[in-house]
């Protein structure tokens, strides 16, 4: 058996639902796994000190990811559990909408800026209890 093959050999321990909760590799490395009540993996910790966390929505779709290296990502979904937004701590952001046939369409940065502007304008008008007409007259 080659050394490369040996490094991937592991002894696994599972919980009563069949989820792997511990692995010990041939080289001595160990990994521990945790799951939520729906059997989604929510935390992994390695003997090296590396850790990873995940969060999920009620439909089982991933909503959050973070690791000890500082990476962080998040995902948002519409009422039909379709991806509408994702982003990460490095500044990436993506937005999507869906057509009548549920085909995913990316929203451009310009469209997103217009949506945010309209939302801010509506929030301002409702907060100030004035109408657009009154605002124009000022």
Looking at the fold, whether 61 and 115 belong to one and the same domain comes out as no
Same domain, residue pair 101 and 120: no
Specify the number of domains making up the chain: 2
Same domain, 95 and 135: no
pLDDT of residue 114: 80
Do 122 and 80 belong to one domain? no
Same domain, 119 and 98: no
17 plus 53 within the same structural domain: yes
> Domain range spanning residue 54?
3-107
Q: What does the pLDDT read at residue 107?
A: 87
Mark whether 92 and 126 lie in a shared domain. Answer: no
Please report the pLDDT score of residue 6 as a whole number: 62
CB within 8 Å of 63: residues ≥ 6 apart: 55, 56, 57, 74, 75, 76, 77
32 and 96 together in one domain: yes
Q: What is the pLDDT of residue 4?
A: 64
Do 11 and 20 form a contact (C-beta atoms < 8 A)?
Answer: no
Are 94 and 116 part of one and the same domain? no
Record the tokens describing residue 115, joined without a space: 């949506």
Low-confidence stretches of the chain (pLDDT < 50) are: 134-135, 137-138
One domain, residues 78 and 62: yes
Q: Are residues 103 and 113 in the same domain?
A: no
Do 101 and 128 reside in the same domain of the chain? no
Angle at 122 between CA 119 and CA 124, to 5 degrees: 110
């Amino acid at each position: 058996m080659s050394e490369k093959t040996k490094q991937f050999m592991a002894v696994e321990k599972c919980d009563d639902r069949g989820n792997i909760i511990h692995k010990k590799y041939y080289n001595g490395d160990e990994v521990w796994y945790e799951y939520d009540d729906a059997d989604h993996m929510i935390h992994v910790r390695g003997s090296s000190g590396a850790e990873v966390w995940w969060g999920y929505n009620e439909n089982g779709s991933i909503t959050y990811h973070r690791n000890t290296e500082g990476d962080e990502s998040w995902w948002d979904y519409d009422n039909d559990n379709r991806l509408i937004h994702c982003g990460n701590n490095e500044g990436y952001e993506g937005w999507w909408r869906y057509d009548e046939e549920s085909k995913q369409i990316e929203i451009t940065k310009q469209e997103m800026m217009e949506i945010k502007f309209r939302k801010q304008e509506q929030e301002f008008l409702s907060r100030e209890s004035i109408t657009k007409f009154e605002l124009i007259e000022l």
